[in-house]
Chains A and B, each alone.
Chain A
C-alpha cells in the first residue's frame, strides 16, 4: 500500500476513535479530507508506477482511465468513493458533515481500495 495513503488513513482512524483530538468539532471534515487525500495519494502512487503520463490529467480523467483500461470493477469503486468523499469534503449546497458511521465505512472502503491498487503495483 501507498505509504502516503496509509499514513493518512492511520491519522483518520485515530481521529475517529478520539474526535477530541481535533479542536472545535472539526473532526468530521478533517477525517473526510484525510480519507479523500488517502484515496488520491493511492491513485497518484498507482499511476506513478504504471503510467506516469496519466498522473498529470484531471482526477476525473484518471478515474475514467482506471475503469476503462485497468479494471472496471476497481475503477467504479474508486469513482464512487471519490465522488462521495468530494461531496462530503468540498462545500456543495445541501450537504452536511458526515457522521462517524459514514466516515468509518469510507475509511474501510478506501483502505481496501488502496490495498488493491498497491497489489497491482507490485
Chain B
C-alpha cells in the first residue's frame, strides 16, 4: 500500500468505526475486500478474521529524484552534443530560447528518456515521428538524463542511444546507478509512477488537459489519490456477490417459471407443488417430502405396476391338468368295483386263515364250522389271496393318482389379487370358483372353461395399467426432475442467504461512502488547483469552483466547475480564452505532479506562457516560484516574458538561454537579467581581439546602449506596474519612447517632458564620467570609441545600476 492508499485506508476504517449502522460482519467484509480476493474469499468462508491493521507501506522505488543534467546529441534540433546542467534540488530554472533554438529538444529528450515516449509526438504521423534525428548530426543520436536520488551519492544516468539505422522506438535504453555497471532499462521500474504523477507537461498537452483526453487526467488523479484501491474494493465485493445474487435471482425466476408453466396441470401432486411454490421462500422440506412421496401417491401406481406382474398358468398347462384329471377318473373307474372294494379285507381274512392252517394244521373252518381247512384248501386259498391283494393294489394306485390330479388342477388357481378391478376381477373370481368345483370332472371342465376368459381379461387389464402408468410418467417425471433441480438450487441459495445479505450491505455501504471518501480525498487536490488558479487568473472574470471526478467508463473525467463574473455556467469552459484554458490546465497539472508521494521531485514544463497575457505570466511566475520552494521546476519558454516577470518580481531563479548556431550547434548561456547580459556582451566584445578595432568599438557602444535602455525599461516597468498600470499600457509607453534619451528621461523622472533636465540629473547623481558614458552610448554606434573599452563598460554598468534605483 502506498502513502495515498494508506491515507485512504485510514479514512475508511475511521468511517467504519464511526458508523453504528455497520455490523461487524459487514465491516469485516469491507476490510477483507480491501485486502484482496483471497482475504475476501477467506472471510466469506469464515476463515480468519481480516485484520484491522493495515498492511505495511511499501517502499517507493525511486524516492526524491532530481534532474542533474539533460544531455542531447543528434536529436531533434540539437546536433553536436549539448548539455543542460541543472542544480539537483528545489528551485526554479527557466530555459529560454527562440523557436527553433533547440530548447524544446531538451524537454522532449528528458521526457523520452524517462518515459520511453513523448506526449507531443504520440499520435502524430510517421513523417512527424521520423523527423526525430538531427539533420546535422553525424552518426549517433542519444538522449540522456543525469539524476540524483536523495540518500545516494553520485548520479544515476539514464540514456537512450541510437545507431544510424535505429528507429525512434529502437536504440539501446540503459540505466547506470552510481558506481555500478550500465544495465539495460525498459522504464518499467517507474512506469506506473510516471503515469500517475507525470512530471512532464508540454504546450500541446496543456490545452488537452481540459478538452483533449480527459480520461487520462481522471485516471492519474484517481491513482494519485489512491482511489484505485477503493474502486478495487468495490469491484471485489461486487464480484464476490455476483454469483450469489445470480443464483438467488435464477432460483426465484425458476420458481415463477414453474408456476406459470404448470398452472394448467391437473395432477394432484403438481397442484400441491404449485401451492408450495406460491411463497417467495417456499418450504423446501415439504417440497422434498412431496418429491419422495410422489413416487407412489396413494399406492395407485404400485397397484398398476402389480397388475403388470400378475401371472396366469399357461393355457396348455391348464389343458394338461384337465386331461390328467379325466384320465385318472377313467383309470379309477376301470379298477374300482364292489368286490375290489372288499378285496383287501378278504385277502387279510384268507392270510389269517392260512396262518392258522400253518400253525395248527388241518382243522375245521372256524368261521363256517362245516368245511375243513386242509392242504387242498390251502393251495386255492393262497392263490386267491394273491389275486385279491393285486386287485386291491390297483385300486389304491388309481385312487391316489386321481387325488393327485385333482390337487394339481386346483393348484393352478391363485386367490383373487386385490389390485384387480372390473372385468378382470370378475373373471378371476370365476376362475377361482372353477378351481373349487366339486368332483374331478367338474373341476377339469371348470378350469378349461374359465381360463381363456380370465386370461383375456388379464391381458386387457395389463394393457390398461401400462397405458395409465405411461400417461402418469409423462406428466410427472419432468416435473419431478425440474422440481428436484429447483429444490437443490433453492437450498443452496438459502444456505448462502446470510453471506449474500452481508455482502449486499457491505457493497451498499461502500458505494454510499465512496462518494464522500472521494470528495474528501479530492479536497486538498481541489484546494491546490484553486490556489494555482487564483494566482494565475489575475484579471480573469472566470472563477474556479469545485473540482470533481465524474463519469464512468469512457466518459470519466476531471470536471471543474467554472463561473463567469460569479455566475455559474456549465458552458463557461467554452467561452474561456486559450490562455485561461492553459492556466486551468496548469491548475490541474501542478497539484498532480507535485503530490507528496510522487518519487519525482522535479517537474518539466514546456512553453506554458504562449497563450497567456502578461498578467497571467506574472501569476505563473509566482506560482512556479512557490512550487520551486519544494520542487525542482524546469520551465522551457520561447520568449523572455516569463524570465522578465521572474526578474521583475525578484523571484529566485536560474535562467538559461539556449542559443543555436549554424549546423545545429546548441550552447547554453546563463542569462540573468538583460542588463547584466548586455554588459557581459559588451565585455565579451571588448575582449575579442579578432574584431577590427573600429567595429569592436561600434559593437561595444551598441551593447552598452542596450544595457542602458534595458535598465530604463526595467525601472519604467516596475514603477508603472507597481502604480497599477496594465502591462499593455506600460508596453505602449515603452514603445513610444523611441530614443535612448526619451527612455532615460522616463526612467529618471517618470515624466517624458523633462528631457532637458536629464544630463544635469545624471551629473548630480553620478558625476561627469557618467554623463560621458551616457553620451558615448548614444553616439558610439556612429562615432566610435578608441583604446581600451573596459573602463567605459564599467562606467556604463554604474550608470545602469543608478538608473534602476
Contacts and interface: CB of A to CB of B under 8 A. Distances in A.
A91 B709 contact: yes
Nearest to A90: B706
Given A7-B695, A104-B662, A30 B639 contact: no
A100 B662 contact: yes
Nearest to A12: B695
Interface in A9-65: 11, 14, 16-17, 19, 21-30, 33-34, 37
Given A22-B685, A24-B680, A93-B644, A29 B703 contact: yes
A22 B639 contact: no
Contacts, number: 113
Interface stretch (B50-58, B94-102, B189-197, B511-519): B94-102
A98 B669 contact: no
Which of B100, B660, B699 counts the most chain A CB atoms within 10 A? B699
Nearest to A104: B662
Which of A14, A94, A96, A104: most chain B Cβ within 10 A? Answer: A96
A34 B699 contact: yes
B706 A96 contact: no
B547 interface: no
A11 B688 CA distance: 12
A25 B662 contact: no
Given A23-B688, A37-B781, A93 B660 contact: no
B691 A23 contact: no
B101 A96 contact: yes
Given A24-B680, A34-B695, A100-B665, A94 B687 contact: no
B695 A8 contact: yes
A122 interface: no
Contacts of A8: 695
Contact of A17 (B101, B662, B685): B662
Contacts of A14: 690
A11 B693 CA distance: 12
A19 B661 contact: yes
A49 to B, nearest CB: 18
Nearest to B77: A99
Interface string A80-99: 00000000011111111111
Given A7-B695, A29-B681, A30-B685, A89 B659 contact: no
B100 A101 contact: yes
Contacts of B283: none
B690 A93 contact: no
Contact of B98 (A16, A22, A92, A98): A98
A11 B697 CA distance: 14
A26 B713 contact: no
B505 interface: no
Contacts of B690: 14, 21
Interface in B391-408: none
A96 B638 CA distance: 8
Contacts of B660: 99-101
B641 interface: yes
B698 interface: yes
B100 to A, nearest CB: 6
B731 interface: yes
Contact of B692 (A7, A93, A94, A99): A7
A104 B98 CA distance: 15
Contact of B640 (A16, A90, A94): A94
A116 interface: no
B657 interface: yes
B681 A100 contact: no
B669 A25 contact: yes
Interface string B691-721: 1100100110011001101100100000000
Chain A: number of interface residues, binned into ranges: 35 or more
A57 to B, nearest CB: 14
A29 B695 CA distance: 14
Interface residues of B, number: 44
Interface-central residue, A21, A37, A93, by most chain B CB under 10 Å: A93
B494 to A, nearest CB: 78
A94 B684 contact: no
Interface string B326-341: 0000000000000000
A92 B709 CA distance: 9
A30 B681 contact: yes
Contacts of A71: none
B98 A89 contact: no
Contact of B688 (A17, A22, A93, A97): A22
Chain B contact surface mostly: helix
Contact of A93 (B96, B657, B713): B713
A101 B665 CA distance: 11
Contacts of B639: 94-96
Given A21-B688, A91-B710, A33 B703 contact: yes
A48 to B, nearest CB: 13
A102 interface: yes
B661 A94 contact: no
B674 interface: yes
A30 B713 CA distance: 21
B667 interface: yes
A58 to B, nearest CB: 8
Contacts of B683: 23-24
Contacts of B663: 100
A96 B97 contact: yes
B431 interface: no
Nearest to A8: B695
B697 to A, nearest CB: 11
Contacts of B101: 96, 99
B448 to A, nearest CB: 134
Interface in B644-677: 644, 657, 659-663, 665, 667, 669, 674
Interface in B161-190: none
B678 interface: yes
Nearest to A29: B681
Contacts of B698: 33, 37
Nearest to B712: A91
B661 A27 contact: yes
A10 to B, nearest CB: 9
A91 B712 CA distance: 10
B784 to A, nearest CB: 11
A99 B681 contact: no
A99 B105 CA distance: 15
Contact of B661 (A29, A95, A100): A100
A7 B703 CA distance: 19
B98 A97 contact: yes
A97 B657 contact: yes
A19 B666 CA distance: 11
Given A24-B680, A99-B101, A93 B640 contact: yes
A97 B698 CA distance: 19
Contact of A99 (B659, B713, B734): B659
A55 to B, nearest CB: 11
**Closest 10 A/B residue pairs (Cβ):** A100-B661, A26-B684, A100-B662, A25-B669, A23-B684, A91-B710, A24-B684, A26-B681, A99-B660, A94-B639
28 contacts: A11-B691, A11-B692, A16-B661, A19-B667, A21-B690, A23-B683, A23-B684, A24-B669, A24-B683, A25-B667, A28-B659, A29-B681, A30-B684, A91-B674, A91-B706, A91-B707, A91-B713, A93-B713, A94-B641, A95-B639, A96-B98, A97-B659, A99-B98, A99-B101, A99-B661, A100-B661, A101-B660, A101-B662
Interface of A: 7-8, 11, 14, 16-17, 19, 21-30, 33-34, 37, 89-102, 104
Interface of B: 96-98, 100-101, 638-641, 644, 657, 659-663, 665, 667, 669, 674, 678, 680-681, 683-685, 687-688, 690-692, 695, 698-699, 702-703, 706-707, 709-710, 713, 731, 734, 781
Given A34-B699, A91-B713, 20 more contacts: A11-B695, A19-B667, A21-B688, A22-B685, A23-B688, A24-B681, A27-B659, A27-B661, A28-B659, A29-B681, A30-B684, A89-B702, A91-B674, A93-B640, A93-B734, A96-B97, A96-B98, A99-B98, A100-B665, A101-B662
